Amino acid sequence: MSEHSAVIRWRRTDDDFEYATYSREHTWSFDGGESVKASSAPVFKGDPSCVDPEEAFVASLSSCHMLTFLGLCTKRRIVVDSYVDAAVGSMQRTSEGAMAVTRVVLRPRIEFGGDGAPDEGVIAELHHDAHKYCFIANSVTTEVVVEAPEDEIAGSDG
């Protein structure tokens, strides 16, 4: 149907190549020209100023859910003015002993325009359908939960 690509580049920057000290910094490049500085998560000796794969996974699920939600709203003529999600992923060991992001909680704060917010039942249905049709959610076994947002979302402007 469609293909999506990324180029991941890493190069050794120091003489040593030991587990405790090698650089985890690398770059993700995408076909639109965007590049992202990436590293492993700080808990795995990564640079906290870079995006780590676990954060990107959480962002990918959140972004896909949001885009699907917005698309569904347009089809129902429900106007959305803003959407901010403070998504959180949790890692733990699976029953096989492997580490995995096993749960992602989405906490979208949505401001509706036009005739105002639809009732809670319609919003719940939109989130249910957004999850059902989200390409990324359909590609993983991680539990994805949508919850009411907390009072404040860091980095939001409203």
On whether the CB atoms of residues 47 and 36 are closer than 8 A, the answer is no
Contacts of 134 (CB under 8 A, 6+ apart): 61, 64, 65, 68
Question: What pLDDT is stored for residue 88 in this prediction?
Answer: 97
Report the DSSP beta bridge partners of residue 92: 100
Give a yes or no: residue 151 inside a domain: no
CB neighbourhood size of 101 (10 A): 18
- Tell me, yes or no, whether 26 and 89 share the same domain: no
Contacts of 150 (CB under 8 A, 6+ apart): 86, 107
Q: What's at 126, amino acid-wise?
A: L
- Domain span at 21: 6-44
Question: What pLDDT is stored for residue 152 in this prediction?
Answer: 56
Give a yes or no: residue 158 inside a domain: no
Tens digits of pLDDT across the chain (158 residues): 899 999 999 999 999 899 999 999 999 999 999 999 999 999 999 999 999 999 999 999 999 999 999 999 999 999 999 999 999 999 999 999 999 999 999 999 999 998 888 999 999 999 999 999 999 999 998 889 998 776 655 555 54
Contacts of 144 (CB under 8 A, 6+ apart): 61, 65, 103, 104, 106, 131, 137
**Counted domains in the chain:** 2
Question: What pLDDT is stored for residue 1 in this prediction?
Answer: 81
Q: Cα–Cα distance between 139 and 130 in angstroms, integer? A: 14
Give a yes or no: residue 30 inside a domain: yes
Question: What pLDDT is stored for residue 151 in this prediction?
Answer: 63
- Tell me, yes or no, whether 88 and 137 share the same domain: yes
Nearest to 62 by CA among 86, 39, 41: 86
- Tell me, yes or no, whether 21 and 93 share the same domain: no
SS3 category, 89: strand
